[in-house]
Structure formats: C-alpha cells, structure tokens
C-alpha cells in the first residue's frame, strides 16, 4: 500500500464523520486503518464505543463492524457511489443499530429506546404534530403514534432490543389506514442506497397488482413474497427488515390502494435523522 491512498482514507472518512449526529459519548474520531480483506484506503470511524471500518474503493465504499462478538474482519455492506452522505446514512441505517444491539445492557436492553420515545414528544411538538404516547407496564414497551397524511404511524420499543419498530397504516375500525402512493414516498427512507443499475427482472414469483408494482420500483430492497399470506418481505441480514400487506394483493394497484407495513430494527440515531420524512409527506 502506498502512502498516498493511506492518507486519502482519513480525508474521505472525515467527510463521512462530519455528517454523523453528535454522539453522547463525544465527537466522532477518524484514524487510518489497514484491513485484512482489501488494499483500498480505509479508516476507522468511532465515537469511543461504536466503531465502523470504512474502505473507500473506486465507485463504492464498504463498511465493516463487529457483530455480536464477531470481529470486523470482512465487509458487511457496500454503499454504491462515492457520496459521503450515502455512506453516513448507511452507517446510521445499518451499522449503529447493530452495534447498539451488541452493546445493550442485558438487564434492560430496551430502556434507551423507551426513553427516546418519551423524549420524542418535543420534536413532534416543534413540528406542530399531535402525538399520543403510552407505556404498557406488562410488556414494558413504549408506543408513540401520529398521523402522516392518510396514514397512522406507530413507533414502538421492543422488550429485548435497543431498536424501534414502526407500523405504517394502522388499522382503524378494521380498515387499513395507509395508501400505496403515500407509502411509496416513505419506503425508500428505510432501504439501502439505490444502485445505479437497480432494475431486476420481474418474474412470476411475484404475484398480484400491488406486490408487482412495489417490486418493480424497489427490487433493490431486496423483496420476496411468501405464501399463504402473499405479503412482501424486504431487507437483508443487516439494516431494517419488514413486511408489506394489503387486504387484497390480487387487486389492481392504484395510488389510493390500502397498504399496511411493519419495519423492524430502526436505530435511534437513524430515526432521528429521518424524522422529517416520518412526519411530513412532502419532505
């Protein structure tokens, strides 16, 4: 490895670190890092507790971090392109929730998530959005709901995870409250960066008007359809995962077609970074 690439990695990583939200543990630090899996210039980005290894290739950036005791010896995700904002977003979307889960206290791993939902009321009030928040003592979870356009949204802490789960289009009197076009405007917020060539052939394994429309637009998610429920699942082994349901998947897809979705594994830093999109359909 020559000295020039070794020096360029921290420069690129500093641009990424500057886009990450301030950590309670202190500022994000960047140091050059030599990996065992690539000669590309790389750097470690850390807040003193959570550390991500970013390797900067031509045309993409790979990210590696420790997962539940595993060492960061191989990249877990590749971010297409070279924009620092895309790399920072992927760290928030995939790496930090994983690291928070691995480091969560065993006695009460969801406490930080419950506190976060309690404190989120101020952010909603600043946006003049009415919300409802409650805690279930039996399940030891906190829930916050609000209206986004035609859909009721719900953020919920889980019993044993430091991350949050989101429900889109909660049922009201037995009917789904979300609409397909509105969901399509929000859905990319949870997905990885779209590759330059993201189209995948729409095969016969995806059936029904609404599932086929969603797959044709977001196949890079990736997405799968499972019987007998015929809902679409999305996500990989890192980052948020979830499923999308509709009362009649065989119906023709229209902008106002009812849609109901669950998204699991949202990190607190990531939720804070997409709060405008979660509250404003025009954001």
Output the DSSP codes for 116-171. Answer: HHHHHHHHHHHTT--EEEEEETTTTEEEEEEEETTEEEEEEE-SS-SSEEEEES--
What pLDDT is attached to residue 25? 83
Please say whether the beta carbons of 258 and 175 come within 8 A. yes
Tokens of 193: 């960066």
Distance CA 191, CA 99 (A): 19
Closest Cα partner for 220 from 240, 234, 206?
A: 234
CA 197 to chain centre: 21
Which letter does DSSP use for residue 91 in this model? I
What pLDDT is attached to residue 173? 54
CA 168 to chain centre: 14
What pLDDT is attached to residue 159? 80
Q: Exposed/middle/buried for 71, CB within 10 Å: 0-12, 13-18, 19+?
A: exposed
% helix / strand / coil in the chain, to the nearest 5?
Answer: 30, 30, 40
Longest dimension (CA), the chain: 65
pLDDT tens, position by position, for the chain (283 residues)?
444 444 456 789 999 999 999 988 889 999 999 999 999 999 999 999 999 999 999 999 999 998 876 766 789 999 999 899 999 999 999 999 999 998 888 878 888 999 999 999 999 999 999 999 998 877 788 999 999 998 999 999 988 889 999 999 976 555 567 899 999 999 999 999 988 766 666 667 888 899 999 999 998 888 888 765 678 999 988 999 999 998 888 889 999 999 999 999 999 999 999 999 999 998 8
What pLDDT is attached to residue 117? 94
Distance CA 6, CA 43 (A): 9
Q: Say what the pTM is.
A: 0.91
What pLDDT is attached to residue 3? 41
Helix (H) or strand (E) holding 14: helix 3-17
How many residues does this entry show for the chain?
283
What pLDDT is attached to residue 6? 44
């Amino acid at each position: 490895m020559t000295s020039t690439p070794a020096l360029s990695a921290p420069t690129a990583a500093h641009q990424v670190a500057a886009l990450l939200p301030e950590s309670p543990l202190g500022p994000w630090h960047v140091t050059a890092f030599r990996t065992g899996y690539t000669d590309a210039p790389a750097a470690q980005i850390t807040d003193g507790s959570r550390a991500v290894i970013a390797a900067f290739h031509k045309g993409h950036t790979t990210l590696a971090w420790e997962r539940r005791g595993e060492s960061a010896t191989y990249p877990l995700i590749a971010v297409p392109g070279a924009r620092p904002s895309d790399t920072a977003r992927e760290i928030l979307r995939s790496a930090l929730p994983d690291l928070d889960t691995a480091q969560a206290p065993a006695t009460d791993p969801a406490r930080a998530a419950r506190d976060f939902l309690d404190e989120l009321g101020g952010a909603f009030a600043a946006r003049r959005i009415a919300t409802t928040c409650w805690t279930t003592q039996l399940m030891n979870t906190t829930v916050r709901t609000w209206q986004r356009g035609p859909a009721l949204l719900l953020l919920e802490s889980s019993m044993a995870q430091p991350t949050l789960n989101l429900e889109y289009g909660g049922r009201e009197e037995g009917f789904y409250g979300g609409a397909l076009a509105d969901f399509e405007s929000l859905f990319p917020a949870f997905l990885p960066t779209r590759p330059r060539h993201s189209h995948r052939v729409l095969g016969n394994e995806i059936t029904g008007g609404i599932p086929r429309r969603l797959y044709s637009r977001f196949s890079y998610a990736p997405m799968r359809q499972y019987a007998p429920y015929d809902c679409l699942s999305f996500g990989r082994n890192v980052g948020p995962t979830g499923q999308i349901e509709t009362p009649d998947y065989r119906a023709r897809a229209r902008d106002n077609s009812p849609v109901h979705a669950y998204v699991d594994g949202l990190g607190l830093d990531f939720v804070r970074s997409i709060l405008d999109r979660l509250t404003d359909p025009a954001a």
